[in-house]
Amino acid sequence: MDLATEVDAGFEPTPNNLEAFFMPFTANRAFKKRPRIVNRAEGVYYFKPDGTRVIDGSAGLWCCNAGHGRKPIVEAIQAQAAELDFAPVFQFGHPKAFQLASRIALLAPGSLDHVFFANSGSESIDTALKIALAHHRVKGEASRTRLIGRERGYHGVGFGGISVGGIVANRRMFGAMLPGVDHLPHTYDRSKQAFSRGEPDWGAHLADELERLVALHGADTIAAVVVEPMAGSTGVLPPPKGYLKRLREITAKHGILLIFDEVITGFGRLGAAFAAERFGVEPDMITFAKGVTSGTVPMGGVVVSKAIYDSFMQGPEHIIELFHGYTYSAHPLACAAGLATLDIYRDERLFERAAAIEGTFADKVFSLKDLPLVEDIRTIGLVGAIDLTPIPGSPGLRALNALERGFHEFDVMTRVTGDTIAISPPLTITDAEMDELVDKLRRLITAIS
C-alpha cells in the first residue's frame, strides 16, 4: 500500500492492528492475543491506553534512570531537532558531540579519557571488541585475536556480542559465530551464595580460571576479556568480593585488555557513575548505552583508555586511524538528550541518591523472602532479583506468568529472565513508590503460587 492509498483507506496503526510488527525478544503470538500496551509515561509510572497507572519496576529496559517524561530532556531534544537535525561525524563534527564525549570522559574513572559513540549496547560491544583487536594490531601484536567472555554474560545481539556472550538461546539459531572465542565460568552458585546482599563472599577464586585459559591458549593469542561487572540480563549476578580486582590483575599481567560492559551498570545503577568506580577497578574500556540518555534517544558508546587511543594516533595525519563508525554515531538528538540527562544526574545527585537508598531498597526487596515460591534474592545498587520455583517441566513459565499477570492484574512492569523477576526502578523512586512496587510484587508472587 502506498502512502496515498493508506490515507484513503483510513488506515490507522492502532493497537488493534498488531500483525506487521515482528516484535523483538517477544513471544509474538501470545503477545498479540493479549497485548501489554502502554502509551504514556511520567516519573516512575507508565500508563495503559485506558489511563491505568503501571509502576515501572524496570526503568523501561534498564534505561530510564532519570525517570520518565523529564522536561529538561524533552525540551533539549525538541530544541536540538529544530536547530540541527543531523550532522555527519565522519570527517565533520558538531559541538554537542565533543561536549558529551568530554562529560562522559570526566565521569569515567582514571585514564578512560576518550569516547567512541554508537547507537546501542550491541553496537558498543562490537565496537569495543574491534578496538581491542585493532589496538593489538597497531601495537604489532597481531596474534592477539582471541576474545574471552563469560558464561551467563549478555552483550547484546551483534555477532561479536553473541559470540562472547554466554547465553545459548541467543546463539543457537545463528550459525558459526566468531572463531577463537572462549568463556570464563559464571559466578553464581546458590548453595554458596543464597540470599546475599551486594557482593557475595564466595567466588573470587573463579577469576583464576583466566589463568587456566591463558595456559591453554597462550597469552599472546588473547586480545581481551569482556564481562559485565554485574551480570544483569541473566538474573542479576553481583560479582563476588574481590573477583573483578583479580581479573584486572591477571589481565594486566598478561597484556590482555579488560572490557567492562556497563550498558546496564553505567550511569548510576550501582550508586556510582560506573560500576568500575564502585568496585575500585579500572578496566581498559567501558561500554555504555541505555542510561546515557535515560533511554530517551538511542545511544551507546565505548570509553577507551588514553593508552588505547594514543596507540592509534600514529602514522601520517591524513590517514583515518580506525575504519569503524556508524552514520548515527553521536547523533545530535542523542547528544542533546545525553547532555540534558547528565545535567539531571548531576543536579539531582541521582548517583549518590542510588547509593543512599540502596540499603532501604534491599530491605524492602528482602522482605519478600518469606514467600513460598522465593528460592533466592539478590540485590546490589538499585537492582534486585527474585528467583522463583520453576513450574516442573516448564522452565521460565512461572516468571512469564508473573510478567503477564503483573501487568494485567497488578499494574506492575518487571523484567523476567528464566524464572527470575528482575527489578531496576528509575533512580528517582521514592520510599512510598518502593513500597508500592514491593507490595505489588508480594501480591503477585502470592497469586501465582
Nearer residue to ligand PLP within complex by CB, 131 or 214: 131
CB atoms within 10 A of CB 247: 27
Contact 29, 385 (CB under 8 A): no
> Given candidates 166, 232, 240, 291, which one binds ligand PLP under the rule CB under 6 A?
232
Scored b (16 or more CB within 10 A) or e, 289-311 reads bbbbbbbbbbbbbbbbbeebbeb
The verdict on 282 binding ligand PLP (CB under 6 A) reads no
Tell me how far, at minimum, the Cβ of 289 lies from ligand PLP, in Å. 5
Tell me how far, at minimum, the Cβ of 228 lies from ligand PLP, in Å. 5
The verdict on 269 binding ligand PLP (CB under 6 A) reads no
Q: How far apart are CA 433 and CA 274, in angstroms?
A: 25
Q: Which residue is nearest to ligand PLP (CB)?
A: 121
User: Which is it for strands 53-56 and 45-47: parallel, antiparallel or unpaired?
Assistant: antiparallel
CA proximity to 418, closest of 236, 186, 159, 191: 236
> Given candidates 58, 65, 80, 120, which one binds ligand PLP under the rule CB under 6 A?
120
The verdict on 122 binding ligand PLP (CB under 6 A) reads yes
Total residues binding ligand PLP (CB under 6 A): 15
Nearer residue to ligand PLP within complex by CB, 120 or 196: 120
The verdict on 286 binding ligand PLP (CB under 6 A) reads no
Binding mask 37-76 for ligand PLP (x = CB under 6 A): -------------------------x--------------
- Sheet with 40-42: strands ordered across: 40-42, 45-47, 53-56, 412-413
Which residues make Cβ contacts (< 8 Å) with residue 253, sequence separation at least 6? none
Q: Looking at 209-217, 236-244, 256-264, 402-410, which segment touches ligand PLP (CB under 6 A)?
A: 256-264
> Given candidates 272, 289, 382, 416, which one binds ligand PLP under the rule CB under 6 A?
289
> Given candidates 228, 358, 411, 419, which one binds ligand PLP under the rule CB under 6 A?
228
The verdict on 264 binding ligand PLP (CB under 6 A) reads yes
The verdict on 334 binding ligand PLP (CB under 6 A) reads no
Tell me how far, at minimum, the Cβ of 247 lies from ligand PLP, in Å. 16
The verdict on 415 binding ligand PLP (CB under 6 A) reads no
Q: Looking at 49-57, 117-125, 194-202, 213-221, which segment touches ligand PLP (CB under 6 A)?
A: 117-125
Tell me how far, at minimum, the Cβ of 7 lies from ligand PLP, in Å. 34
Scored b (16 or more CB within 10 A) or e, 394-421 reads eeeebbbbbbbebbeebbbbbbbbbbbb
The verdict on 121 binding ligand PLP (CB under 6 A) reads yes
Nearer residue to ligand PLP within complex by CB, 107 or 264: 264
Tell me how far, at minimum, the Cβ of 435 lies from ligand PLP, in Å. 27
The verdict on 261 binding ligand PLP (CB under 6 A) reads yes
Contact set with ligand PLP (CB under 6 A): 62, 120-122, 125, 154-156, 228, 232-233, 261, 263-264, 289
